[in-house]
Structure 1
Amino acid sequence: MFIDLLATTGAAFDAEAATRAYLDTLQGPARAQSDAYFEGGYWLILFGAAVAVLIDWLFLRLRFTHGLRSLAERVSKRAWLVTWMTALGYLLASAVVTMPWSIYTGFVRERQYDLLDQPFAGWFAEQMTALAISLVIAPLLIAVFYALIRRAPRSWWVWGTGVTGLFLLLAMVLGPVFLAPLFNEYTEMEQGPLRDRIEAVAARYDIPAEHIYVFDQSKQHKRISANVSGLGPTIRISLNDNLLERTSEAEILAVMGHEMGHYKLNHVWWMLGIMLAILALGLFITSRAAPWLIRKYGDRWGVRDVADPASMPVLGICLALWMFAMTPAINSLIRINESHADAFGLDAAEEPDGFARVSMRLSEYRKIEPGPLEEILFFDHPSGATRVRMAMEWKAANVDNPQIVVPEEGYLDSQ
């Protein structure tokens, strides 16, 4: 229920005042907790990179990957198999050593802020499932990388970028069908007026909507979510049960319009190209920095050259530092795409107040009103304030006789 402000004041619609009416509904402890959680994430970016670099440095200092590679060479003389076995041991050891950090960031901290409903046993089981998947895929990718290093010592970074792109495309095609169901149950959305409205929006923009799935993410947490995933025959629209149970029809349509915007604007291809370009530059720098490090410290680490599988931590350090440095750029590139999808969603769903309400709900885990520089550096989605303002400006430009409305008290805790 909304309180109609204009009906009592007779004032003209003002987009900024309408925006403030929404933003001011998040106050006191709820706002403090939202800010504290998201701002704490800034430090996690730094500490996460530091943990990755420290562990790889320890592996080198203790000659751990040297030992793994030596053991693998006693088992086989085939270079690809030696690399695969070394990678498997390296990735498994990395997962074990970083487990305390993963438990704190992924479970303890999320429970502290009441953002995770899942018990530890269920959470840990899913982490082990994800680890098992990565241990099947990642060693193969690493083995291919090292084969490229052996065959093209100067240009392996180019070919490595291409191979990574192929792996990502394969994951995008197969992920919705074979990987996502390992973590959640997907069922066809029931027929009814809401599905009809979603299909009508999709049909207006020639977006495939033969399959609309609902997945049971409430077993893990209460965050609302939706996506358009897959490629070709596996493309599908999915929304979680939290979105259905916690929000209104207007909010659901606003979210689905946004997700359809990603599809219609070809964001998956744009982001794939952009991320591969960033990776390519990182691999290029690594291809020049890693040999220098190995020439200087290789004897101490037990690493012969870049083609030696024992060099994995060296490459890991270079790439970790590069991706940390690129965090603001990556955040901004993603945020720009998200903003374009927001604009598309407003045009498609024509639910500006639904969009504003759902943007406010995201304050559960995203700071609602950051400073301009803060948003540029740390936000990979537009902030709640930016999104609500966009919705109210759209309302001013597209709705006849627009009204300023104030959400009822406690609406963020409703449904």
Structure 2
Amino acid sequence: MAQGFDPAAATAAYLATLPPEVHAKATAYTQGGHCLLLWGTLVSILVSWIVIRSGVLVRARAGVEAKKPRPWLAVAVVVVVDSIIEGLLSTPWDAYAHWWREKSYGLTSRAFGGWFGEHLLLMGFGLIQGLILFSLLYWAIRRFPKTWWLWSSVGVVFAFLGLFILQLTVLEPLLNSYKPAPPGPVRDTVVAMANQVGVPSGKILIYDGSKQSNRYTANAGGFLGFGRIAMSDVMFKKDADLAEVKGVVGHEMGHYVHGHVPLGALEFGLVALAGFFLLDRMFPWAARLLGAKGVTGLSDPAGLPVVAVIFAVLALLATPLINSMSRYTEADADHFSVVHFNEPDGLAKALVKTIEYRADSPSALEEFIFYDHPSVGRRVRAMMDWKAAHPKDATTASPTKAGA
């Protein structure tokens, strides 16, 4: 351990670089987000209940199958009608939760028109996804009425990976411009890092994330040659230096190298297995409770809003489990970064810049339930513990600003 270095004091010093009012605002935003999770679930249930009580999906299904059974077409028509109605009914809530609230906390600078245009694009993309996934789900329910939940959970794993590829290759290029880092210190540093750990250096990109958000962030993932590591331009607008770039990009490389995307697919498949099993048992009871008149059973696509209600409740209850799985991979990526690139201070400085949208010191219970990343305080402390145990050579040069 480095003599005279106190990890606890160093952690406190990093957190103290932001004034109390910034911490208070971050806490208000974060804890308000916890309430948003509950309210969002209630809004989703209310919207689905309105569609159920209207009977519009029963009439749509009956119209398609008036002369003969046409299950594939019935599913498609129901999914389209339901997606449009529920999307429109949910838009006021989405505007509040994802635009107005973000703007009121200074986390986005975009105008409402920009947000709404993107919202419509995402609705369209979600409709296409829904047509594919629900067509396959209802086929499985019809084909394997006793064991559909088992086979469908296997399908979820492949769907997760397929949607990941579609997101990278189709959706994200529609939303943002992704470009290789220009020649200079950042590119040279990142290419050297990529060569060190076997990540394709041509897939390390900078994107115009400031178009949507003022958050200091990066993201990554990949499998079977698909994937990339992307840094938001906000990083550089907030004066990221090379030590921060190494810490953050090293973290993202950890996601890539350790295969967190396929791991996430397997985890999501297991969660789906439990969810589908419970859906199979709960559907008749939920349909009666919600007053789903005319819905003949789980295989009837007109019961899609009943399925949505059950999934909304189960997803809310599963929040601690899902977040715990996510926290594991995030901590693993932090560890990868510091082991391979030894920039604990760089990553700590970057983490402090995320406090504006992620309160740094929640209670253990709050973190367990609501946090999909370890808290900033916990992550910075892990970096300082590493620094204490692995001091750098005293001749190591101090970080320079990363002009991107």
Q: Distance in 1 between matches of 2:374 and 2:195?
A: 27
Deviates more, 1:124-133 or 1:186-195: 186-195
Query: What's the offset of the Cα at 1:168?
Result: 2.0
Aligned match of 1:150 in 120, 142, 153? 142
Counterparts of residues 163-182 of structure 1 (less than 5 Å): 163-182=155-174
Question: Which residue of structure 1 lines up, in the alignment, with residue 278 of structure 2?
Answer: 285
Aligned match of 2:211 in 219, 228, 233? 219
Question: Which residue of structure 2 lines up, in the alignment, with residue 68 of structure 1?
Answer: 60
Question: Which residue of structure 1 lines up, in the alignment, with residue 228 of structure 2?
Answer: 236
Q: Distance in 1 between matches of 2:291 and 2:332?
A: 51
Query: What's the offset of the Cα at 1:297?
Result: 5.7
Aligned match of 1:123 in 115, 123, 132? 115
Residues 1:398 and 1:297: Cα distance change in structure 2 (over 3 Å): closer
Counterparts of residues 381-392 of structure 1 (less than 5 Å): 381-392=373-384
- Return 5+ residue gaps in structure 2 as ranges: 395-403
- 2:154 equivalent to 1:162: yes
Residues 1:18 and 1:64: Cα distance change in structure 2 (over 3 Å): same
Letter in 1 for 2:201: A
Q: Deviations over 1:370-413 (max 9, x none)?
A: 111111111100111011101111110111488xxxxxxxxxxx
Q: Deviations over 1:294-330 (max 9, x none)?
A: 4x46985221111111111111111111111000111
Letter in 2 for 1:268: V
- Number of residues paired by the alignment? 393
Aligned match of 1:99 in 76, 91, 94? 91
Alpha carbons 1:257, 1:344 under 8 Å: kept: yes
Q: Deviations over 1:177-203 (max 9, x none)?
A: 222110001112112232122122222
Letter in 1 for 2:360: I
Question: Which residue of structure 2 lines up, in the alignment, with residue 369 of structure 1?
Answer: 361
Deviates more, 1:96-105 or 1:222-231: 222-231
Secondary structure at the residue paired with 1:229? strand
Letter in 2 for 1:374: E
Query: What's the offset of the Cα at 1:76?
Result: 7.3
Question: Which residue of structure 2 lines up, in the alignment, with residue 252 of structure 1?
Answer: 245
Alpha carbons 2:51, 2:86 under 8 Å: kept: no
Aligned match of 2:133 in 129, 141, 145? 141
Q: Distance in 1 between matches of 2:376 and 2:46?
A: 35
Deviates more, 1:35-44 or 1:311-320: 311-320
Alpha carbons 1:177, 1:234 under 8 Å: kept: no
- 2:201 equivalent to 1:201: no
Secondary structure at the residue paired with 1:301? coil
Query: What's the offset of the Cα at 1:70?
Result: 2.4
Q: Distance in 2 between matches of 1:151 and 1:292?
A: 22
Counterparts of residues 13-24 of structure 1 (less than 5 Å): 13-24=5-16
Alpha carbons 1:209, 1:237 under 8 Å: kept: no
Aligned match of 2:333 in 341, 345, 350? 341
Letter in 1 for 2:309: I
Aligned match of 2:262 in 257, 269, 280? 269
Q: Deviations over 1:249-302 (max 9, x none)?
A: 1111100000011112221122111111001100110011103444x4698522
Q: Distance in 2 between matches of 1:56 and 1:134?
A: 16
Alpha carbons 1:261, 1:345 under 8 Å: kept: yes
Deviates more, 1:207-216 or 1:371-380: 207-216
Percent identity among equivalent residues? Answer: 34
Deviates more, 1:191-200 or 1:267-276: 191-200
Q: Distance in 1 between matches of 2:67 and 2:118?
A: 32
Alpha carbons 1:176, 1:230 under 8 Å: kept: no
Alpha carbons 2:141, 2:299 under 8 Å: kept: yes
Alpha carbons 2:61, 2:302 under 8 Å: kept: yes
Letter in 2 for 1:38: T
TM-score by length of 1: 0.90
Alpha carbons 1:359, 1:388 under 8 Å: kept: yes
Q: Distance in 2 between matches of 1:336 and 1:76?
A: 51
- 2:303 equivalent to 1:311: yes
Letter in 2 for 1:26: L
Q: Distance in 2 between matches of 1:124 and 1:274?
A: 33
Letter in 1 for 2:272: L
Residues 1:29 and 1:297: Cα distance change in structure 2 (over 3 Å): closer
Residues 1:143 and 1:395: Cα distance change in structure 2 (over 3 Å): same
Q: Distance in 2 between matches of 1:60 and 1:135?
A: 19
Alpha carbons 1:72, 1:86 under 8 Å: kept: no
Alpha carbons 1:339, 1:382 under 8 Å: kept: yes
Question: Which residue of structure 2 lines up, in the alignment, with residue 410 of structure 1?
Answer: none
Secondary structure at the residue paired with 1:25? coil
Q: Distance in 2 between matches of 1:312 and 1:210?
A: 43
Q: Deviations over 1:60-111 (max 9, x none)?
A: 2232322232233359741100111011101111111111110000111011
Question: Which residue of structure 1 lines up, in the alignment, with residue 401 of structure 2?
Answer: none
Letter in 1 for 2:252: E
Aligned match of 1:49 in 38, 41, 44? 41
Alpha carbons 1:184, 1:215 under 8 Å: kept: yes
Alpha carbons 2:248, 2:347 under 8 Å: kept: yes
Secondary structure at the residue paired with 1:210? helix
Letter in 1 for 2:42: A
- 2:74 equivalent to 1:82: yes
- 2:337 equivalent to 1:351: no
